[in-house]
Amino acid sequence: MNWRRTRAMTVKECRHILRDPRSLIMALAVPLVLLLLFGFALSLDVDRIPMLIYDADQSAPSRELIRQFQGSRYFEFRGYADDYRSIERGIDRNQILLGVAIPPDYSRRIAAGQRAGVQILLDGSDSNTASIALGYAESLVRGYAFTLRTEAQNRKGGGKLEPPVDARLRVWYNSSLESRNYIVPGLIATILMIIAALLTSLTIAREWEMGTMEQLLSTPVRPAEMVLGKMAAYFLVGVVDTAIAVSVAVFVFHVPFRGSVILLACSSCIFLCGALFWGIFISAVAKSQLLAYQMGMLSSMLPAFLLSGLIYAIENMPAPIRLVTYIVPARYFITLLKGIFLKGAGMRVLWVEILFLLAYATVVFLLATRKLKAKLA
């Protein structure tokens, strides 16, 4: 390994990058645009659930229950329904997600101290959202029912009715329970994986198509020096992309940052090296720029979005798919980012993920060097 030849290769790639300012601007602007787009558009929060209420009782107790739904931030009251058919039409036309039907004997049963039923109708097309909406509605109705039981107990002259379990909640790390604080750090890892792989996936393939690979073959540059030199040039672009993404997360989306800046910088550099080496490996496999671009997009975007735990919990995946996630570097970097941003975790907690990223970068570097050596031979 000759560091002088490696530096010469880095300078060559840097000059190539600067000669194409449009590509450089795109490489810096795309992460910003993607982070803003997904950060504002992608949300896992379930609130302001559109609903209709069919009040067949038209009494003071039923109106009080309706006020409970109207005062909740989780529901958006769209009006009253005349019958069940109105709720059904609203669900069929995607105008509402939830309907509440209060029976005509609701107030009579409450006055008699009997159990009064309330029917909740849900659009189960999106099972996850429907389950969360059902939980909200059941919790609200259950709380209102407990209030009614307490009032009835007081009227009878009994003691104060206490709940059997007193749950006291304390939310750590994301006290506002905003999904944006959970999603944005994951988006940083996903976007950087895609951009880094695409930046380097065209480098060697471009050399073959432009006919400059023959010139490189006439020089004493070795495959390892070529891989490191090309990676170092795009590593500088990746560092700028990382700084932009972290700044947007902190100052635009106001994601709390509780960890170490040094740990974030070191782990980001390790992750970038692995992603850039992967792009070079793809470029060494495919001599065509089009094929290299397609392979880079498929091997970076799909695993980073679907198999990293960004959107779908890895614990809920089938066992064979969970095994595949162990070779997805974005999985470990997302864990690192969430630990650093939200929990303020340090090396003592996150050392396993850092070791996995180091191992990934080393293995991919060796694969890229070996493949390039076979191509040059």
Q: Do 249 and 185 form a contact (C-beta atoms < 8 A)? A: yes
In sequence order, what DSSP letters do the residues of 125-145 get, joined into one string?
Answer: SSHHHHHHHHHHHHHHHHHHH
Extents of the domains making up the chain: 3-43+178-376, 49-155
pLDDT for the residue 4: 80
Q: Which of 3.40.50.720, 2.40.37.10, 3.40.1710.10, 3.90.1150.10 would CATH assign to domain 49-155? A: 3.40.1710.10
Q: CA dist 72 to 46, 61, 131, Å?
A: 13, 17, 17
pLDDT for the residue 371: 83
Long-range contacts of 360-365 (CB under 8 A, 24+ apart): 360/274, 360/327, 360/329, 360/332, 361/270, 361/271, 361/273, 361/274, 361/277, 364/274, 364/277, 364/278, 364/281, 365/227, 365/228, 365/273, 365/277
pLDDT for the residue 156: 67
pLDDT for the residue 178: 80
pLDDT for the residue 284: 82
Per-10-residue mean pLDDT, the chain, length 377: 80 82 81 86 80 90 89 89 90 90 87 83 85 88 81 66 70 80 88 85 75 68 82 89 91 90 94 91 82 85 86 86 91 92 90 94 91 69
Sign of the dihedral through C-alpha 88, 57, 72, 172: negative
